[in-house]
Structures are given as structure tokens and as C-alpha cells.
Structure 1
């Protein structure tokens, strides 16, 4: 059972990779966690409640926020981690590509964030974190990324807008802007090629992103920040 003063985090895209790492990290911080993704399995931890669903569907957002409030009574942090990357030349994107990427990256952010912020305002504060990409700030001719830049760039702008809109009401908003992270979505055969895209010469680890989000969680004077964890990509080559 949760206690009245226990904080609660919602994490999207939580079944594997960075999302799974964030679930573990927030539990170590003492939070109860509501974890969601399309294929997420039930957790043996009574303080981790899993909700299956497509976050692009507003009905999933409603269920996730509703479960968090019903089960734990509050929402202190939302990490908008769910995302998809489709690398194609701009003129080869299909309508399905557009709908899929904007659905997860933008629609998946919008309704769940509205619901979380509404609850945070009732409580007197909270924290929203977006996971974005450094390609927004540093386009690379080797990586076709218009849809990623369109959607994740929008999230970075929204991150700052939220931070300013709610700065006097206790709700912080930050983003972590990633390089390429060693997760199950990147086969090992491509790791050397992907590592070479970073000035530091390696891919990032899930722990690098978890550490960045944890820092922001514990930094009450930081809001509106786009924290680059990208092996130097955003600085140049």
C-alpha cells in the first residue's frame, strides 16, 4: 500500500529500454509508479502498476491518469518517454508514417500531460519531463530525420512554454535531449556505426539518461531546461 506522502510517477513507453530503466530508478527514489506501453506486462512489485495501451489514443491517457489517481491519489511526475523514430528521406515519408510518428510523439504527449498537470495543480506542484532528440538542434546529413525534428522539436518548444506558463504554480517542465542510446531498438551489428556519430565516439547507455532525468527530478530550481545527453552531438562535429 502507498502512504499519503508517497510520490507517484507516470512513465510512458515503459516496457523496455529507457522506460524500464526509469521505472526502476523512480522506485529507488521511493516513488510509486504507473508504467504504460502497448505490450507492458504486469509487475510483481505492488508499487508498480502497469497499464497496457497505445498512448497515441487519448483513451489510454485517460485510463493511465485515472488509475494513478484512483490507486495512489496523486501524480507528482510524468515522464513522456514514449516515442518513435522513422528515418527516411523527406519525400519518401508516407501518410501512415506521418500519422504514426505524430500520433505517438505528439498526441502521446498532449492528453496525458493535460491530465497530469491538472492533477499537479490540484496538489500544488509537480514535474513533467519530455524525452527528445539532439537531432532537433543539430541536423545530420547522415541521418534523415524530418519527422523526428518536427515532433520532438515541438516537444522541446512545448517544454519551455509549459515551464513558463506554470512557473509560479509549482509545476516544472524539462526535457532530456538524447543522442543514440544503446537500447533493444538498435541491433548490435550497427553499434560501431552509430557510435561514430557522436564526438565522444560511443553510444549512450540507458544509465546516462536515467541519471539525467534523476538530476532534473532533484533540481527544484531547474525548469524550462533542455538537457543534452548526446555525446557532444549538439555542440558540433
Structure 2
């Protein structure tokens, strides 16, 4: 009888919201989990709350710095022996008029969202090549394919668009090495991010989705778990959006 080894996942941006829910779900499903966030105090609080400390490790750090991604991989390999899955969840998102965006503001999104995903993936793929395979899951947004008038967000959406393109390119380059790369493009999800973007009542945006409700962090976590376990899905950007991209209701 073949004994299945415990798989190890790295989740960035895991101290709150989607990332925290993912960490909890993967722990419940027997994974070893390495969590990351830039805010060490928040990350430590989440680490304590999640429990399962025999299978959980934390590394605080800014993923826009390539050394952070390398440290995450080194920690996963040193403590658990492998990097089977990477979820590039860490990111920032907020609206600002296109004509008011300056170079420093744009760089903030490119550095954290796109560069962070790029170099953390690079560190993980180097390890996955040694292991003979792995899975990367990137978090994008449905707004790349279906923009919303009245919500000016060119800076973050430009960075997320890069993540969508990177997802398909990595899937193409490394598929022959059994490395699967996919993206999740959420619609409106109930999380702390909404308040940060100035949306105090996220349910008021339910009408953007055909199901006339917003998503929950558990919805994203469950799709990530499916993708982590799948052996034959790669190069896909899956819209998790209650029908946002598929169509819209008559006003």
C-alpha cells in the first residue's frame, strides 16, 4: 500500500481575510502550512489562533523583496521537506483616479502584487524542479476582464493583469516538469480588504454578481484546495465571481 506524504503549502498574505481562511482549511485537510504576512504582529496572532503548530510555521516579511520568497521556500523545505503548493495571495488593492497616479504610487502595486508574485514563484519553482513537480495558485481579479465604471483602479488592475499573464506563461514554460500554475480571479469577497478600499458595506455590491450576493473567503479557500489537489488543471484563470464576468442584470 502506497503511503501518501503530507503535502506542504506556502500561503502569502495569510494573516487576515482570504489567506487566513485558506491556512485554516489546508490545516484542516492535513497539510503542512507556512504562512506569511508583512505585519508580524498580525501574523503572530493568526499563528496562535490557527493552532496545529506541529504543522504550521510563520515567516513575516515583505514579499516585494525577493529574499522573502527565498526564505519562505527555505523554511518550508527545512521544516517540512518540500514545497508542494504556493499560493501567491499577498497583495494590495485600492481605487485612485488614473490622472492622479504618480510613479511612486504605481510602483507600490507593481512591487507588491506583480513583483512579489513573480519572485516568490521563482523561488518555489526552483525547489519544485528538484522535487519533480508542484502547484502554484495566483490570486488575480475579475476586474482584469470586466472593469467597473466608477471604480478607478488602473494601478492595482495593471499589476493584477500582469499576474494573469504570468500565470499562463509559467504554466506553459514548466508544465512539462509537472508544475501546474493556475489563477483565481475573485469577484467581491467579504474580507478586510473591502474596508481598505472605502467600501463599508460590501453587500451593497451584490448586484454586480448574477447570484445577487457577494462571495465569502471560504469560497476562495475551497477553490484553492481543489486546485492544490488537482493533477490535471493548469494554465487556467478561474473566475470565482458569482457570474460577474458572465453577464449582468438589467438596471
Contact 1:86 1:101 in 2 (8 A): no
- After superposition, the CA RMSD in angstroms is 1.7
TM-score (structure 2 length as normaliser)? 0.89
Aligned to 1:78: 86
SS at match of 2:189: coil
Gaps of 5+ in 2: none
Matched, 1:142 2:150: yes
Shift in Å, 1:222: 0.7
Contact 1:138 1:236 in 2 (8 A): no
Shift in Å, 1:26: 1.3
Pick aligned residue for 1:217 from 214, 228, 236: 228
Shift in Å, 1:20: 0.5
After superposition, residues 16-95 of structure 1 pair within 5 angstroms as 16-39=16-39, 40-41=43-44, 42-43=47-48, 44=51, 45-95=53-103
Deviates more, 1:174-183 or 1:64-73: 64-73
Gaps of 5+ in 1: none
Contact 1:128 1:172 in 2 (8 A): yes
Deviant stretches of 4+, over 4 Å: none
Distance 2:85 2:56 in 1: 14
Pick aligned residue for 1:197 from 208, 227, 243: 208
Shift in Å, 1:28: 2.0
Q: Note closer, same or farther for the CA distance 1:141–1:103 as it changes in structure 2 (3 Å cut).
A: same
Q: 1:17-63: CA deviations, max 9, x gaps?
A: 10001111111221101100012114442211011111111121122
Aligned to 1:236: 247
